[in-house]
Structure 1
Amino acid sequence: MGYRVLVDKEELPMSRLPVIVGFGGFNAAGRSSFHHGYRRTVIESLSAEDRQETLVGLATLMKLVSFTDGQYSDAEGNSYTAEEVASKYEEQILNSTLVRRIEEQHLDVDNVHWHKEATIAPAEGEALTFVTKKKQLPESLPESWQVTELDDGMVKVQLLDGVNVKFDATREMPVKSAGQLPKGFEPGEHYTSRFHPRGLQLTVVAASDAVQSTGIEWQTIVDAVAPDEIGVYASSVMGQNDENGNGGMMKSRLMGKRVTAKQLPLGLNTMPADFINAYVLGSVGQTGALTGACATFLYNLQAGISDIVSGKRRVVLVGSSEAPIQSEIIDGYGNMSALASVDGLTKVLGTPEGEEPDYRKASRPFGENCGFTLAESAQFFMLMDDALALELGADIHGAVPEVFINADGPKKSISAPGPGNYITMAKSLANAAAIIGEESVRERSFIQAHGSSTPANRVTESIIFDKVAEAFDIKDWPISAVKAFVGHPLSSASGDQLASSLGVFKYGIVPGVKTIDKVADDVYDDRLNISVKDVAVGQQGMDVSFLNSKGFGGNNASAAVFAPHIVESMMTKRYGEDAMATYRERREAVRRHAEAYEQAALAGDLKTIYKFGENMIDEADIEISADSISMPGFDNKIDLSAENPYKDMV
């Protein structure tokens, strides 16, 4: 079979396989592209060379050293080799990544600002008097106030009765751990991010990381497809809740401030997709922002791959971004008894009285635990149909054939787990077995568990896995839980799982649940292998990973992810050896281009794509006919021809 460039829709396969051709992002483990974040989670099991590269990459990301003129140097101008950087900063890097005590520059959990309400009144026989600027008086004065004007715009106020006031105060938070970005890494420093909430800063750098990891210029991809064959599906479940978003807007009146013109629009949970379309890709294609609590990433992934399978889209960017480490959000989840508190961890870990618990072990999936650990993360993945990937020589990291989503039915508690996850997991296994065979599912698969680290989850999720394993005759099923390392970033949780799965396919190491000493006694693990150490399975030792997510409200989602060697085998069967040989030649150039970005990123230059107001489309130049639309800046037209899908009805 000779190789042909597949661009004509008539030549495309009927069943298009959505393949992952690029991925990137940032969480508590560092940068996701080129498996850096994954490698941080299994750093004890890496080769010396991979370990050193991981540490040096984190050192530049965290601004411990810079790389210029072929050498590393610190702020004092001292020069180091890569080996010296890894040795000198290893302990500092390890202690300043993954789940840990919330750092003071992020949030001072020992002295969180709040207002203490009080009622004050004049003492008997005395007047309660104060002086202030006239312009600072309330517009509507209380009847019990007597105001006397003074010089220079000042007034004296005498209170004849009591008044309610709020005193500035601080208090200690009961929750002190989170999955924070590596200390020193500030996403907003990598582009012009003025007034952007932290979640949108993460969106920009993470989406840019994913795009550049492909090794293919974005314009090359755009030129290969029609403008409406591109899709972006991204959101944040909580929205942007810091001072520059909803958080600043909602408390502005109580804080005596004015709402800005940017806080409301930038606070919307659709903004990750909107920012990517406008400032990273410049896309006029399909856009979507689905949310499903902790399963949000998989909701967006389902939308993207469904459009690829149907042929509506040929390339999609899918992801989510969340930056919820804020006192108000911690209070919200904490008051639901959902988070691992200091008191809870002290009891679980048996911490001696007067000492702080080991916050590194706060997130404890399937072990003795007391709640989940909030985290910040943004993860993005570029997917194409297999024909486009073949045409462009894209490097394929895996494939996702389908995402299954099911609700729980009747519920007594909206936050409690329910039966919907049985359906999603069983469907995912059945789907994978039908495509790549029962043996791959039975012998060479593993699970990326939701593993939220709550007492209820460790029981209910393990029961599901155990029952599904029995149904598919699986024994000793490897279970991984990435939240043990990076915490729970809500919408981005399954994005973390997917990035970790791609790392397993590359390095052949399934991360163990290393924050626990043993599996809890009430976990159902007769057919499960929940290891507290990393498990070496070898390269190509796993054919498929199953992602599982259980969200508040009954938002259950599961998906199978095929390993790259499985995908290449499938594509060889579809296109033949000659076409694949030509594809591999093209892939070498793509990999070289990707490696150039990797080397820049390792040196601390993320080359963040942020095109504010660039290449604006002049609407006067849009050409519309009955058959097509031509958009300025796009080589290919948007096809308006359509067939009537309801011929039998008209």
Structure 2
Amino acid sequence: MSNGRWDAAVTGLGLVTPGGIGVPASWNAILAGASTAASDPELAGMPVDFTCRVPGFDADELLGRRVAWRLDRYVHLALVAAREAIADSGLDPREWDGSRVGVVMGNALGGVRTFEEQHCALLREGAKAVSSMLIPMMGVNMVAGYIAIDCGARGPNLVTTTACASGTTAIGTARELIRTGRCDVVIAGGAEAGLTRPILAGFTRMGALSRRIREPALASRPFDRDRDGFVAAEGAGVLVLERMDHANARRARVRARVVGYGASADAHHATAPDPSGAGVEKAIRMALHDAGIEPREVDHVNAHGTSTPLNDVTEARAVCRVFPGRPAVTSIKGVTGHSLGAAGAIEAACTVLSIEQGTIPPTANLDRQDPDIDLDVVSNRPRAQRISVAASNSFGFGGQNAVLVLAAA
């Protein structure tokens, strides 16, 4: 078991997901195990016309019109989640030493909505119609920059872009800033808002999305025999990480600890996972080694579980090889869909909640488990279980693999 020297305390959580705005709404929806996928009016006439969107999100109301107008939606989602996480941590940005506070956010696509809107303006009216805010609104790095501006975090500031592993990579990178002593506090997570017609057309042409257009609520079904692709989603998840001694000195509530991180590349294919699962297995074992954790000590795995035919089997086989003790496995993507660069951060936050509350959410729509997936997958209803150690997996296009190990406080 980790000796605690390099642990990062999780003292704050923030969530904006298709389940709702804020941690309570999101977590309750995920525990309920009902899919949030629904027909999307913005995709009317598309071959795949359903997504998982954040319900009732009004940026003007939540952030104020003066702030909201100059930000892309992916930054809107991130700022709301970051503010919740900071408030939850009990830290006061007016009092902290901002030079010791970093921001590391994961994102895959940047401000694609803004780019597409401004490209249309260019084609329609010419260059003079393009907004002067285009570049700062679309840049992938800007989500970390705007969070820093919002809360006065003047430490290291960066965005990790490892496709669907981006949020997990961000949290792992944030922990490195803690363990090297560069920061006392790091605001870390992921955000994505890429539910636009060109992006969804691209995923559709790849064959990555579920085609259950008549039954969108049944489309995302991780580990199920009849899965046929993922459901695209948006969202944001943010964790406040602190040095353990910093958190203890201010008597903060430590919700869980990030004790290990591992990453690898398949070096196999642009979009398909290596069917051997060797890269996935390497990342898991690296995270366990970093944590000083034996596989038998892991009680729960929050799986990447995208509901795609290849990914789910590949991940399952790797998990079986690493964890012969059959820890309880779940994928929340049956409820939330796949929010790409935000997914790993949202799932890490859910892993913290599972550890803290002793509750594993169910995998939605798992009616008949694929016989090639020999895992103890939680389905139908939440499972009450004491969790001392858990792993959270994320994998992405380009063969990107990232894994976190989290432990009880």
Hey, what's the Cα distance between the residues in 1 that align with 2:357 and 2:25? 11
Counterpart pick for 1:363 among 220, 225, 247: 220
- Aligned to 1:335, the other structure's residue is in SS state helix
CA contact (8 A) 2:21 2:54 kept: no
Partner residue of 2:51 out of 178, 203, 206: 178
* Matched letter for residue 365 of structure 1: P
What's 1:253 paired with?
122
Question: How far apart, CA to CA, are the structure 2 residues paired with 1:555 and 1:504?
Answer: 25
Confirm whether residue 221 of structure 1 aligns to residue 96 of structure 2: yes
* Residues 315 and 382, structure 1, Cα contact 8 Å, conserved in 2: yes
Q: Pairwise mapping of residues 485-496 of structure 1 onto structure 2 (< 5 A)?
A: 485-496=335-346
Paired AA for residue 361 in structure 2: P
Residue 511 (structure 1) aligned with residue 361 (structure 2): yes
Look up the match of 1:52: none
| Shift in Å, 1:479 | 0.8
- Aligned-residue offset at 1:431: 3.8
- Assess, with a 3 A threshold, how the Cα gap between structure 1 residues 389 and 102 changes in structure 2: closer, same or farther: same
Picking from 226, 246, 264, the partner of 1:406 is: 264
1:424 aligns with 2:274: no
1:389 aligned partner: 247
Quick check: 1:505–1:542 contact (8 Å CA) kept in 2?
A: yes
Aligned pair 1:533/2:380, yes or no?
yes
Q: After TM superposition, list the pairs within 5 Å mapping 1:611-630 onto structure 2.
A: none
Q: CA shift at 1:27, angstroms?
A: 0.5
Aligned to 2:38: 101
Contact 1:231 1:313 in 2 (8 A): yes
Please give the per-residue CA displacement for 1:238-274, whole angstroms capped at 9, x wherever unaligned.
01111xx222233433333521101122100001101
> Is the 2:304–2:395 contact (alpha carbons within 8 Å) kept by the matching residues of 1?
yes
What is the SS of the residue equivalent to 1:494? helix
Deviation track 1:20-59 (CA, whole Å, cap 9, x = no partner) reads 01010201111343x4312222137xxxxxxxxxxxxxxx
- SS of 1:234's partner is strand
Q: SS at the partner of 2:118?
A: helix
What is the match of residue 322 of structure 2? 468
Check whether the contact 1:24–1:31 (CA below 8 A) recurs between aligned residues.
no
* Cα contact 2:171–2:189 (8 A) shared by 1: yes
1:445 shift after superposition: 1.1
2:20 is equivalent to residue 30 of structure 1: yes
Equivalent AA in structure 1 for residue 36 of structure 2? V
Q: CA deviation at 1:444?
A: 5.3
Between the aligned partners of 2:353 and 2:7, the Cα distance in structure 1 is 21
Q: Tell me the number of residue pairs that the alignment of Structure 1 and Structure 2 aligns.
A: 398
Change over 3 Å in CA distance of 1:249–1:207 after alignment to 2 = same
Note closer, same or farther for the CA distance 1:284–1:216 as it changes in structure 2 (3 Å cut). closer
Q: Would the aligned equivalents of 1:16 and 1:311 in 2 still touch at CA under 8 Å?
A: no
Q: Kindly name which structure, 1 or 2, has the bigger radius of gyration based on alpha carbons.
A: 1
Q: 2:190 aligns with which of 316, 320, 341?
A: 320
Letter in 2 for 1:282: G
Tell me the SS of whatever aligns to 1:203: helix
1:99-132 deviation per Cα after TM superposition (whole angstroms, max 9, x unaligned): 222343xx1x33xxxxxxxxxxxxxxxxxxxxxx
Q: Secondary structure at the match of 1:233?
A: strand
Task: Please give the secondary structure, in 2, of the residue aligned with 1:402.
Answer: strand
1:304 aligns with 2:174: yes
Aligned partners of 1:241 and 1:26: how far apart in 2? 19
> What corresponds to 1:41 in structure 2?
30
Aligned to 1:277: 148
Amino acid at match of 2:288: L
Q: 2-side partners of 1:20 and 1:215: how far apart?
A: 12
Question: Which residue of 419, 433, 453 maps to 2:307?
Answer: 453
Q: Against the structure 1 CA distance between its residues 485 and 426, is the aligned structure 2 distance closer, same or farther, given a 3 Å change threshold?
A: same
* CA distance in 2: counterparts of 1:264 and 1:430, whole angstroms: 41
Separation in 2, partners of 1:213, 1:561: 19
Counterpart pick for 1:483 among 324, 333, 340: 333
Q: Deviations over 1:81-108 (max 9, x none)?
A: xxxxxxxxxxxxx8xxx5222343xx1x
Offset, 1:478: 0.9
One-letter code aligned to 1:187: A
> Which aligned pairs between 1:258-269 and structure 2 lie closer than 5 A?
258-269=129-140
| Secondary structure, counterpart of 1:26 in structure 2 | strand
Name the SS of the counterpart of 2:247 in structure 1: helix
Unaligned runs of 5+ in 1: 1-12, 45-93, 111-171, 346-355, 565-650
**Residues 16 and 550 (structure 1 numbering): CA distance in 2 closer, same or farther, change over 3 Å?**
closer
1:78 equivalent in structure 2: none
CA apart distance, 1:443: 5.6
Q: Distance in 2 between matches of 1:277 and 1:217?
A: 14
CA distance in 2: counterparts of 1:43 and 1:484, whole angstroms: 11
- Write out aligned runs for 1:583-598 (5 A): none
Unaligned runs of 5+ in 2: none
Query: In the aligned structure 1, how far is the partner of 2:4 from the partner of 2:329?
Result: 35
2:21 corresponds to 1:21: no
1:277 partner SS: helix
Q: 1:28 to 1:14 in 2, by over 3 A?
A: closer
- Does the 8 Å contact 1:235/1:270 carry over to 2? no
SS across alignment from 2:334: helix
Rate the CA distance shift 1:293–1:358 in 2: closer, same or farther, 3 A: same
Alpha carbons 1:178, 1:325 under 8 Å: kept: yes
Match of 1:196 among 56, 71, 77: 71
CA contact (8 A) 1:511 1:533 kept: no
Task: Report the secondary structure of 1:289's partner residue.
Answer: strand
Deviation at 1:510, TM superposition (A): 1.1
RMSD: 2.0
Secondary structure (helix, strand or coil) at the match of 1:294 reads: helix
Q: Deviations over 1:294-346 (max 9, x none)?
A: 110122112211011111111110122111111111001111011112xxx2x
Give runs of aligned pairs for residues 147-162 of structure 1, distance below 5 A: none
Residues 141-165 of structure 1 show CA distances to partners (whole Å, capped at 9, x for unaligned) of: xxxxxxxxxxxxxxxxxxxxxxxxx
Distance 1:533 1:442 in 2: 26
2:405 is equivalent to residue 551 of structure 1 = no
Contact 1:231/1:317 (<8 A) preserved = yes
Instruction: Give me the whole-angstrom Cα distance separating, in 1, the residues matched to 2:209 and 2:27.
Output: 24
Alpha-carbon contact 2:263-2:286 (below 8 Å) kept: no
Cα offsets for 1:583-636 (capped at 9, x unmatched) = xxxxxxxxxxxxxxxxxxxxxxxxxxxxxxxxxxxxxxxxxxxxxxxxxxxxxx
TM-score, structure 2 as length reference: 0.92
- Residue 535 of structure 1 and its aligned partner are, at CA, apart by 4.3
Cα deviations by residue, 1:557-590 (Å, 9 ceiling, x for unpaired): 01101122xxxxxxxxxxxxxxxxxxxxxxxxxx
